[in-house]
Chains A and B, each alone.
Chain A
């Protein structure tokens, strides 16, 4: 199960990276960034996983638990990712207001 999750995480990271590089629209780039961030959270959660172990909520009859530390780290990563994406979208809105477009190529040609 861990190997399957690792493979998916790598594939999702590649898809997000492809979106960030190939798209020219800033909102599409934000979508790619969001997918990359989710892929890395999946990596953290998959590293914490142990086959047959329980979620880290202590119960009397459970013996083995998954690693709780990466869960705390990935919670932090998710919330910070939301902050970063909203700031990027705010910048996108400002670029649209200043240049009339969110297409990066048009914006760059306007600057030069």
Chain B
């Protein structure tokens, strides 16, 4: 064990011990929920008619937070794209072999169904725009791995993915602006006149399914863009990259 490892071990033990002490003192094992959480749980049905309280918090009470989160994803996609701006995707026709291709071909319809289900039922069951969007991005990655990037990247080009991402972000902002037009707050839900419906039905809880759909499209295309950027390469003749 070198001196550097001993030093790292000491720092790590200090960090873990400090975190543990803070958690034991301030972590709280109080039985009653905080007042804010109790209010959220009580008023979720009345305020936005959504059964899944997490999606109510995410897309109604703290929707502005979610807008910030979408902005962070946008920034990270922009950063990765800027890093790989000189690189371009060299399509490969070689896939994972005939057996895997045929098997995935039979299963692909069910694979598409799952992320769509997660996104559309976000206000009723666990899931939502983020989970479904990432699942959709992983599905795009899987199809690219199985069938080779030649077919995948010719259907979903980076350009089209960027368009989808911008459309998702714009849809989120437009749905938020409806609240201002109706004389309520930005990203207001039922107060902005969206129909509440019967809680527990698929078509209910106002703007939350629409926001889920917008976020799902945005996250899926953003993360798929990051994956395509990681696949891109610099051609051999290209000069060394200079900062």
Residues of A that sit less than 8 Å from B by CB: 2-3, 6-7, 9-11, 13-15, 17-18, 21-22, 43, 46-47, 50, 55-58, 65, 67-69, 71-72, 75-76, 79-80, 82-84, 86-87, 89-91, 93-94, 97-98
Contacts and interface: CB of A to CB of B under 8 A. Distances in A.
Interface of B: 4-5, 7-9, 11-13, 15-17, 19-20, 23-24, 27-29, 31, 33-34, 36-37, 40-41, 44-45, 51-54, 56-58, 62, 65-66, 69, 72-73, 75-77, 79-80, 83-84, 125-126, 128, 130, 134, 199, 219, 223, 226, 229-230, 234, 240-241, 243
A interface secondary structure, majority:
helix
Contact of B125 (A10, A47, A57): A57
A83 B134 CA distance: 12
B31 A50 contact: yes
Contact of B29 (A2, A17, A87, A98): A2
Contacts of A72: 54, 57-58, 62, 65
Nearest to A66: B33
Contacts of B54: 56, 68, 71-72, 75
A112 to B, nearest CB: 16
Contact of B37 (A11, A22, A67, A86): A67
Nearest to A70: B37
Contacts of B56: 68
Contacts of A93: 83-84, 230
30 contacts: A6-B27, A9-B23, A10-B17, A13-B15, A14-B15, A14-B19, A17-B11, A18-B11, A21-B7, A47-B27, A50-B31, A56-B41, A57-B53, A58-B41, A58-B51, A65-B33, A65-B41, A69-B34, A75-B130, A76-B66, A80-B73, A82-B223, A83-B77, A87-B76, A87-B80, A90-B79, A90-B230, A93-B84, A94-B83, A97-B241
